[in-house]
Amino acid sequence: MGEMPNFTGAQAARLKHNFHTQVGNSVKSALSVERRQKWEEHVRSLTVQGHNLALAAAEKQDLVWKSFMYDLKQGTLKFLLNAGIDTLPTAANLKRWKKSASDLCKLCRGRQTTDHVLSICKVALDTGRFTWRHNCVINYIVNSIDDKYTVYSDLPGHTAPGGGSIPPELCVTSQKPDIVIIDNHMKAIHLYELTCPAERNIDTRNNEKSNKYAHFTTDITHLSCKVNCFEVSTKGFLNTRNHSTLNTLHKFVKPGITKTQFKSNISALSLTASYHIFLCKDEPTFMEPPFLLPPLVTKTKTVIAI
């Protein structure tokens, strides 16, 4: 057995310092993991309550809201802030605040929460409110596509020959992806499908739509085909994956429309349409307005990067 090393005072002090540093780092790491777990549990509870602003902060996602929210009209901004912390005057909140005896939706008799008004109520769905919001976003995107590409959608004036959004010579189908962009130069077709769900349902809806339209990548043989499903929430939230998808879509957009402007308008259109839907939450009939115009324009070359 070898002899024990004889450390000098300076060496011993250095070893002691290194030991305490390693122990300290280990303790900090363990506490960091514990704090992260507790924060994630807190975030999950906030998500159930509809507090998507806290969710986005926890995920360290850059919200498109940051670049435009204070350019919104006062009523829309107030709606966004109250929707984000679940303080809108829904029937559920009015009952919780002891200002009403009922928490039921006047249209369908379900419990009227913010998410119920914006994405669940069957009467709102059947009267076309959610479809109108969805189509406001699609209309903006379709009209933003550069003329050097061929674009189809199921909106009036933009359908493919024979109806629908996919020309029958490419694929005979009854399905109608929201946006079909044909790049004849690259011999490629790009299908984009939009959903406007509540924040907690973003990934679920993406999986559903991706599975629904995946067959086009092999059914369309004349051109290279790519399917892109994306979501902008009822409150205008875009997660990291959807930012990436919209970056690919922006490549087809007319010159002069910046990426920030493009994504900000998509977010703002969904949010603004949701505000109108909320204002009509107790109306049994829905007089569908014209498609909303893009609320935001690029004022200067200095914009906040997303």
Amino acid 299: pLDDT: 47
55 membership: H or E segment, kind and range: helix 52-58
The pair of structure tokens assigned to 273 is: 């349409």
Give pLDDT < 70 ranges for the chain.
1-67, 297-306
Amino acid 24: pLDDT: 57
Q: Is 248 helix (H, G, I), strand (E, B) or coil?
A: helix
Amino acid 59: pLDDT: 46
With b for 16 or more beta-carbon neighbours within 10 A and e for fewer, the 21-57 pattern comes to eeeeeeeeeeeeeeeeeeeeeebeebbeebbbbbbbe
The answer to whether 245 touches 108, Cβ cutoff 8 Å, is: no
Q: How far apart are CA 162 and CA 171, in angstroms?
A: 12
Amino acid 69: pLDDT: 72
pTM comes to 0.79
Amino acid 255: pLDDT: 95
Q: How far apart are CA 15 and CA 235, in angstroms?
A: 56
